[in-house]
Amino acid sequence: MTLAGDATHDPALRSWVGSANDPASDFPIQNLPYGRFRRRGGTEPWRVGVAIGDGVLDLHAAGLGRGPDIAEVLSLPVAERRDLRVRLSQALRAGSSDETRLRACLVAQTDVELGVPCEIRDFTDFYAGIHHARAVGSLFRPDSPLLPNYQWVPIGYHGRASSVYASGIDFRRPHGQVKPPGEAAPRLAPSARLDYELELGIVIGRGNEPGVPVTLADAEAHVAGLTLLNDWSARDVQAWEYQPLGPFLAKNFATTVSPWIVTLEALAPFRERFGRALGDPSPLPYLDSPANRESGVIGIELEVWLQTAAMRERGDRGVRLSTSSFRDAYWTLAQLVAHHTVNGCNLGTGDLLGTGTLSGPEPSQGGSLLELSRGGQQPVPLGNGEQRTFLADGDTVILRGYCERPGARRIGFGECRATVLPARAGVG
């Protein structure tokens, strides 16, 4: 399962795309994530692109892809996927004989519209962030924040693929049934406790046949890569509706994903050992292996930024609310895929699996306002005189992610952003 490093990870590699050589770029030649784009203001269909510096390489026009459908790239067998990465790296590196030809296939990111990186076939959201689970559980069960099954089974629920939106697509504050404390009956109202959730999205490349589980050893061969994911949540709607069947309208109105799929090949230099805290139960055999323990973790650093309407009017880029890391997740991505299919569930190309909220161990590392504000009891100061317990209309939430370590080139995920618009008038 471990992805061995190769020449494409060499930190000394440089590209003929000058912006890719900027140390601050999310998209150096060592990254090469896939996405979909079309020229801004046009009516052309989505095309498969590869991010390189501040540009997008049209994969089909460059003659490096099988066709204009990104599913054909994502579903490649691992060996072919790695071969395509090598060919892209060779074509884009400084001194390549392909430079003159490929310059005509390169478009500035400022000139394109970036969409959802692939057609989302289905969506499952997990609950793999144990620090989030403990923080939220402690608000309702101070003496026993984790339910008995949490450390044994990867918890998840079936989400709504139709409301997965691309970064930059804003959404309206949702309506739903809410029942404030002390009121005898619920009422339909716009959510007053709207929240974000800092997550990663796992994009399935190759599916499995119905009734045939994916083993832990094979799980990562079915994963095309990762995105940033914000699973917006209406906490007041959720509190009233979630028992006994779990999330419904509180979650299915909007989920935002970043436009680039960062491949597992690009993430290979950032693998780490996976282990459990002393005293925690060992996973059941189908969720455990020496390879998963050796390199199941990916060291992805995560940030949440908030830009209020007042900040935007002043030209202020916003304030960083929290930081956390994927290494603190309780389950690896291989375990999530293996568990999802152990009952015979068939995954398909373009299926999206959310990790669940990825919070850190410290109170300041909450991946949601629910945690940072202690359920709305402690307003979060924003440093400009404003404060928040939950999101206000006009707030823009920006998720960022990146990997870095000595001896490797820093790579990033781009941004996952959206703005909360006022609730639609006249509902109900």
Residue 27 token pair: 């998209």
Tell me which DSSP letter residue 90 carries: H
pLDDT at 1: 38
Q: What angle do CA 258, 262, 268 make, to 5 degrees?
A: 150
pLDDT at 320: 98
Q: What angle do CA 130, 195, 26 make, to 5 degrees?
A: 75
Of 283, 294, 367, which is closest to residue 328 (Cα–Cα)? 367
Bridge partners (DSSP) of residue 306 are 319, 397
- Return residue ranges of the chain for CATH 2.30.30.230: 15-114
Beta carbons of 322 and 372 less than 8 angstroms apart: yes
Query: Which pTM value belongs to this model?
Result: 0.96
Of 97, 60, 349, which is closest to residue 203 (Cα–Cα)? 349
Residue in 9, 60, 131, 132 annotated catalytic: 132
CA distance 187 to 428: 10
Domain formed by 123-421, architecture: Alpha-Beta Complex (3.90)
pLDDT at 41: 84
Beta carbons of 208 and 340 less than 8 angstroms apart: no
CA distance 365 to 302: 10
H or E, element range at 333:
helix 333-341
CA distance 93 to 13: 7
HEC readout, 220-231: HHHEEEEEEEEE
97: exposed, middle or buried (Cβ count in 10 Å: 0-12, 13-18, 19+): exposed
Bridge partners (DSSP) of residue 203 are 225, 352
Domain formed by 15-114, architecture: Roll (2.30)
CA distance 158 to 244: 15
Bridge partners (DSSP) of residue 172 are 421
Cβ-based neighbour number of residue 149 at 10 Å: 9
| Distance set, CA 403 to CA 24, 27, 164, 336, 406 (Å) | 12, 11, 25, 21, 11
Tens-binned pLDDT, residue by residue, of the chain (428 aa) = 334 468 999 999 999 999 999 999 999 999 999 999 999 987 889 999 999 999 999 999 999 876 679 999 999 999 999 999 999 999 999 999 999 999 999 999 999 999 999 999 999 999 999 999 999 999 989 988 999 999 999 999 999 999 999 999 999 999 999 999 899 999 999 999 999 999 999 999 999 999 999 999 999 999 999 999 999 999 999 999 998 999 999 999 999 999 999 999 999 999 999 999 999 999 999 999 999 999 999 999 999 999 999 999 999 999 999 999 999 999 999 999 999 999 999 999 999 999 999 999 999 999 999 999 999 999 999 999 999 999 999 999 999 999 999 999 999 999 999 999 999 999 97
Is 132 tagged catalytic? yes
Torsion of CA 87, 89, 94, 95, to 10 degrees: -20
CA distance 227 to 305: 17
- Return residue ranges of the chain for CATH 3.90.850.10: 123-421
Bridge partners (DSSP) of residue 105 are none
Of 135, 150, 128, 130, which is closest to residue 201 (Cα–Cα)? 128
pLDDT at 2: 39
Percent of all residues in the chain with a pLDDT value above 90, rounded to a whole number: 93
pLDDT digits (tens, 9 = 90+) for 390-426: 999 999 999 999 999 999 999 999 999 999 999 999 9
